[in-house]
Structure 1
């Protein structure tokens, strides 16, 4: 009877040693935290990149680097620049 109990304990110990180990709760919470923050991070980077590009296009139009240098291009550049600055401020 004694050897049956010892064999059972040894078998459980051996099985637990080779069984796949679950991640600790801290690691699981960290992964969950990263997964929850991912959409906000993607949104922030996307909005920042788009706003910076809009601001850059507005600056180029205003300075006459892009476009024909007319007053219409200048006005569009000022509006685009203001929209880019607003987007950056929102971000």
Structure 2
């Protein structure tokens, strides 16, 4: 790296850590709060959905006698997997609703401040 590239890199890093204006800082804060409200619900939904799909797949394999010959057990496990996958969306919405309620005051006040300064 030559001196000019090093200076450019230093400017970029500095710009990331030192907001140019208070508006930019508030906007970043608003984005972080929005992510904090949504992220746990999304992580739960993906994880629970994957586990539910795997349980459903194991049940299908058992029911079709690909893994052993335990069709009745496979049907029961498959139904449990179907219930998990079905419940996933409703659980996601409930978690998201509670997280939005938790962060609502902060997000609304920050967005009001940003909108008033337009």
Q: Same fold (TM over 0.5)?
A: yes
Alignment of structure 1 residues 1-91 onto 2, 5 Å: 20-21=18-19, 23-67=24-68, 69=69, 73-91=70-88
In structure 2, C-alpha distance between the alignment counterparts of 1:76 and 1:26, rounded to whole Å: 53
How far has the Cα of 1:27 moved from its partner? 2.2
User: SS of the residue aligned with 1:66?
Assistant: coil
Counting matched residue pairs gives 68
Structure 1: runs of 5 or more not aligned:
1-19
How far has the Cα of 1:25 moved from its partner? 1.8
In structure 1, C-alpha distance between the alignment counterparts of 2:25 and 2:40, rounded to whole Å: 25
Structure 2: runs of 5 or more not aligned:
1-17, 89-118
Largest Rg, 1 or 2: 1
C-alpha root-mean-square deviation of aligned residues, in Å? 1.3
Q: TM-score normalized by structure 2? A: 0.54
- Detail structure 1 runs of 4+ shifted over 3 Å in the superposition: none
How far has the Cα of 1:76 moved from its partner? 0.8
